[in-house]
Chains A and B, each alone.
Chain A
Amino acid sequence: MLITVPDRPRLGPRLAFRGWRARRPFWGGLLLALGGGEILLTEKASLKVVMHIGMQGLAGYLLPTLMVLLGLLILFNPSQRLFYSITGVLLSLGTWLTSNLGGFFLGLLLGATGSCLAFGWLPDQEPRTGRRKRRRQARAAARAPAPKGAQGAA
């Protein structure tokens, strides 16, 4: 389904998935979609009742459905993640009012966490280093005549 730019040689499926995951806020999108799904599962009112109640009842289904959609969009169109995640967090909070207290709080929690992760995600980061190592590097950089970007890590 995904025809990405073949910038690297063909790898095994696991490694390919790892590469795919590295290029998008994977956990953010997944959690947001799961949160929406959980809220949808807690909905018990039949469609007939929803039609009877009107917009208030429809919103109970509309918000979690949009959460699932936004979660998938974050996964498959990560370049628009800021808009998706901001909309996602607003919808997640809105489900408190419309859909069984946000799927009895669980779906709201998943959705809000996922949105925050997607919002905080940035592509193309340095490989993870430990705090101690980072501090040592900063000290070394401060001692040496720094070339540029010397204000450095926290």
Chain B
Amino acid sequence: MASSPDVPSAGNTPENPESGSPPEAPQTTGTAGAERRGRVRARRAAVMAVPATLVAATLAVLTAQGALGVQFAISGMPFTVTATELNGTGFEQFGNLDNMAEGSPNAGDTGGQVLVVTSAIKNATLTKLCQSVDLGGTNLLITAGSGAEKVTASDLTTDSTELSGDAAFNNIEIGNDASTLTKAGVKGPIGVFSQQADTVRIAKLRQTNYATIAGVFKLPGLKLRFSESGC
């Protein structure tokens, strides 16, 4: 690393400092007066600071509007949810169509739309909840409710493409129009097949989801980590 001390004449800066200080011919270092130091000229710094601020503000606004993708925008990626047991009251299920953000790279040839099954549960209790997203090479893993306290959620709505487990329903109605559902307070599109039940119990639940919405989602014993394997 070659040190190159600045020679006193500002060799590489063509223009004079804007204050137009008279060029003091002899260097006066070491004299009793204050020494001459390098210093930041405010107006010179502003030449760069103003455009930089404008660009930073533009980036922030574009990102807020969603016009600009930032590195961790992963919307449109499916994630897996598993639980050893799900107990719920007020259950609805109907077909639906989810839309990704416009121009999402995950859209592929689907036109940004995913056909999903929407499951709504008024009040749900889950044991040993696990959620994982495949980020390519590694998984973002979230677990909760493995202790004595269980995961509880109200007005829980999930949009899934796959759902498996051992299910038991009470007072189930199959074949309703999705727009006439009453048990969980969510209504689907008109003319779509649906089913609803008073209570639901699913053991060994496994879902591939595109979205989860909940009014309240309590996750006791939450753990978030990266892992080699998913749920």
Interface residues of A (CB under 8 A from B): 1-5, 7-8, 22-25, 27-28, 44-46, 48-49, 52-53, 56-57, 60, 76-80, 82, 85-86, 89, 92-93, 96-101, 108, 112-113, 115-117, 119-128, 147-149, 151-154
Q: Select one of A112, A117, A154 contacting B40, CB under 8 A.
A: A117
Whether A22 and B38, one on each chain, are in contact in the complex, defined by CB atoms closer than 8 angstroms, is yes
CA distance A141 to B183 in the complex (A): 87
8 more contacts with CB within 8 A, not counting A60-B71, A116-B52, A124-B10, are A5-B5, A24-B38, A89-B52, A93-B52, A100-B72, A112-B56, A115-B52, A120-B47
Whether B44 and A122, one on each chain, are in contact in the complex, defined by CB atoms closer than 8 angstroms, is yes
With A125-B36, A127-B37 given, is the CB distance from A116 to B138 under 8 Å? no
B32 located at the interface, meaning its Cβ lies under 8 Å from any Cβ of chain A in the complex = no
With A3-B3, A123-B8, A125-B37 given, is the CB distance from A49 to B138 under 8 Å? yes
CA distance A147 to B35 in the complex (A): 24
Most-contacted residue by chain B among A4, A44, A123 (CB, 10 A): A123
Whether A117 and B45, one on each chain, are in contact in the complex, defined by CB atoms closer than 8 angstroms, is yes
| Tally of B interface residues using CB under 8 Å | 53
Whether A123 and B70, one on each chain, are in contact in the complex, defined by CB atoms closer than 8 angstroms, is no
Whether B38 and A121, one on each chain, are in contact in the complex, defined by CB atoms closer than 8 angstroms, is yes
Whether A127 and B36, one on each chain, are in contact in the complex, defined by CB atoms closer than 8 angstroms, is yes
Whether B136 and A53, one on each chain, are in contact in the complex, defined by CB atoms closer than 8 angstroms, is yes
